[in-house]
Each structure stands twice: as structure tokens, then as C-alpha cells.
Amino acid sequence: MRGDTIAAISTAVGGSGIGIIRVSGSEAITVVDRVYRSKNNKKKIVDQDSHTVHYGYIYDGDELVDEVLVVLMRAPRSFTAEDTVEINCHGGVYAMKKVLDAVLKNGARPAEPGEFTKRAFLNGRLDLSQAEAVMDIIQSENEYALQSSLSQLKGSVYQKIKKLRDQILYEIAFIESALDDPEHISLDGYPEKLEDRIQDMRNELEHLISSSDNGRLIKEGVQTVILGKPNAGKSSLMNALIGEERAIVTNIAGTTRDTLEENIQLHGIMLKLVDTAGIRQSEDIVEKIGVERAKEKASGADLILYVVDASTQPDENDREIIQFLSDKKAVILLNKSDLVQKTTEEMMKDFIKNEYPVISISIKEHTGMELLENTIKEIFYQGDISFNQEIYITNARQKTALVCAAESLKKVQESISLGMPEDFFTIDLMSACESLGEITGESAGEDLINEIFAKFCMGK
């Protein structure tokens, strides 16, 4: 129930210096007062001011449970906009559990996953896009994902969507007012003006939709697949990039039989590296399976690092690999540049017949790696690695809602071009408004809201 008092451990469960038990609801302060005793046993939590910290002990009946600091936040000046108490205790698993048990015995119930943030949303503390940003912050794995999520938490997506939604609502209100009072409000020439306004709104929506590709890369990382023939140096490249001997490297062609995956941070972005089996024709059943897996990974890659043994000449296996570069971002790496070159940069560019960056490297001599890193940075960020105020849509649900809104506005333009009556416009305008409302939560149904918050971690 929305008004009852909930409690949960809000820090990671494991050995740590400090653990936090969060309690929120109409009886939160009273519940904690039942288990808290100050050092001199004279201070009552219920009598204290908001946003104060108190030193004391937690008791379960007459049993001393732990020494704590209690943070008191009265409504509405808290994360949930309800009375909230956070008990800072020792971070051992058993110690936190004992404190939580004492709180639950005295009137609170266990919080469901994401229930604190859900209450913040229901109480108007956050909109739905901000609530989702909370979980994105927790799950951030690189600097760009964190900065993007923080921007959304501050309301960047909400403000953009609210502006578009307000514009649509204005047009709906104008049409309905004109239809109700045609003597004072004229619709002459209005469809042409509306079409221009709709196009401006569609342009903004398309810009947000197009940002979702970069948003996904920011949030999830760049799926980077290393391709090449056997013994080209793929596994050596993997080890060089991650900075440790993770992949097995030998002089025997075909050593790598399966995919190997590792994540690395590169200038603040995350690369999800995938080392693959060397691509060549083979009768070995295990090697053939490895080659098929390599091709499968390549088909879903955001970036392909194609490693070429520059001491050999290209052959039919290289031609097969090049087919996987089609419509992909890719970098061609001419490895073993410390040996006599039989494949030069000019030869490779002519062989591929596409404008991919070609870099000569020697993994053995550690040359060319810095150029590779800078090239990857330029491919995805045009050389500007500092986070700007661009709004990125990192959420698939939000992208779907934006696409639906754009389609509805397109239908309005189609109705205008067909000379349909103005009241037809309001149908699709309202549909667009509803779609945008799903992003902020203003028109999201209960089932959708429950589904979103069920994905949150416990205690948040």
C-alpha cells in the first residue's frame, strides 16, 4: 500500500564499513523511535528536527543490535517526499540484517524492488524519465553513461518532452476552441500554419530518436569485434588492449577456437571487446564452430577491428572477412609492421575499396596502439571526448514512445494534405501527446509503471 511504512537495506549486501537501512512512510519516524536509544537514553527521534543526524544504538527489545548514526528527514524534504529515516550501521551482512529485522518487527514492512523511487515518482518528486535515470546511474559503467544519466536526473529529457507536449496541447486547445466558438476564433489558413509547426516538432523528435543509437553506445558500450585470419595477431591485440595476458597466444594458427569477451575503458567510453576464432576454410569441426560464432558476433558489432598479417598477402579468406565490414564502422590494422611488408596501406585500401581507416601496428613492438585508440575515439565522438549538454535517449522504452509520437504527427500532416476537417487533426495530436506522456509518466498506465520499477534493485 502506498501510505504504509517500508524498509530495506539500501547499500550492497557484503562486508563493508557502513551499511544503510532506509525507512520511509507515514510511520517511519515512529517505527525507528521504537528501536533507537540515544547514548544517554533521553533523546527521542520523534522530537527531533528534520535533516539532523543522531548518534545512538539500535535495540531489538532488550538486545543491543548495533551502534548507529540515524539521519532524520521529514516530509516533503526527502527522496520519497515522505518521512524518511536512514540508519547508518556497520556494514556486515549479519549486522545489517539484525537492524532491518528490528525495524520490521516494529511496524515496517519489507520494501519491494524500486519501491522508494516509485514513491518518489507517485508523490511528484520525480517524473518517470528521472526515475529511470536513477537506475541508470546505479548501473553506469563509464563516464559518459554516468554524465548522461545525471543529465536526465536533472530533468533534461523531461524539459524537452514537456515543451513538445505543451506545444501539442496548445494546438489541440486552439482547434477545439475554434470549433466551439467559430464566430470569434477563425481557422482560416490555420492548417498551413499547423503543418509548419508539426514539421518543426517532428524534426525535434527525429533528432531525439537519432540520438538513441549513440545513447545505446554510451549506456551499454561499443560492441567491438576483433576479426582476422588465424595467426594475424587478434588475441595479441586483445591482450594489449586490456593490459594483461587474457587470451592464449601461440605460433600455431587456429589457437583461438571460441569467442572471448572483456570490457575496457577507453577515454571514458566502454569497449566490449570480443576476440574471435580466425576465419578460414577448415574441415576441423571445432574450428568450424568457432568460425561461425565469429561471423555471428561480427554481424551484431558496432565496431570491427580487422587484423591483417601485413607480412603476408591477402587471399580469399580476407575477401570473406571484408564482406562483414559492409555498413559497419571498422578499422583495418596491418599488424607485424616490424617484419617485411607484403601488404601495404595503399594495397589494403585498394583491396577493400572502401574508406576505412588503415593503421600499421606492431603489437610485438607496441607501436601504433595510441593511433588506434585516437581513431576509435574520433569514429564515435568526432574527436570531442568532453561530455556536452546534448540529450541522448538511452532507454528503449522512451525511443519507442518517441517513434509513436512522430508517426502520429506525420498522420496529422497527411490529414492536412488531404484537406480533412480540423477535428480530425486533434485525434492524432492527442495520440502524440499520449505517447510523449508515457515518457514522463503523465499518461503511463499502472501496469507499465509497475513493470518499470520491478526492474530496480532492492532498497532504491
| Domain edges within the chain | 6-125, 132-216+393-454, 219-381
Mean pLDDT, range 304-313, rounded to an integer: 87
Fold category of 6-125 in CATH: Gyrase A; domain 2 (3.30.1360)
pLDDT at 254 over 80: no
User: Minimal CA–CA distance to 70: which of 89, 87, 46, 90?
Assistant: 87
Per DSSP, what are the bridge partners of residue 331? 305
What pLDDT is attached to residue 253? 45
CA gap 407, 428 in Å, rounded: 9
Distance of CA 10 to CAs 29, 52, 227, 326, Å? 17, 19, 43, 47
What pLDDT is attached to residue 383? 41
What pLDDT is attached to residue 248? 46
pLDDT at 305 over 70: yes
Fold category of 132-216+393-454 in CATH: Four Helix Bundle (Hemerythrin (Met), subunit A) (1.20.120)
Phi, psi of 176 (to 5 degrees): -65, -40
With cut-offs at 50, 70 and 90, classify the pLDDT of residue 70: very high
Mean pLDDT, range 340-348, rounded to an integer: 81
Mean pLDDT, range 195-224, rounded to an integer: 83
What pLDDT is attached to residue 36? 97
Mean pLDDT of the chain: 84
CA gap 175, 181 in Å, rounded: 10
Mean pLDDT, range 354-366, rounded to an integer: 85
pLDDT at 385 over 50: no
Which CATH code, of 3.40.50.300, 3.40.640.10, 3.40.50.720, 3.40.190.10, is assigned to 219-381? Answer: 3.40.50.300
Whether the Cβ atoms of residue 405 and residue 211 lie closer than 8 Å to each other? no
Winning range, highest mean pLDDT, from 89-103, 124-138, 346-360: 89-103
pLDDT at 267 over 70: no
pLDDT at 246 over 60: no
What pLDDT is attached to residue 84? 97
Q: What percent of the chain has pLDDT over 70?
A: 87
Higher-pLDDT residue of 448, 306:
306
Q: How far apart are the first and last CA of the chain?
A: 17
pLDDT at 134 over 90: no
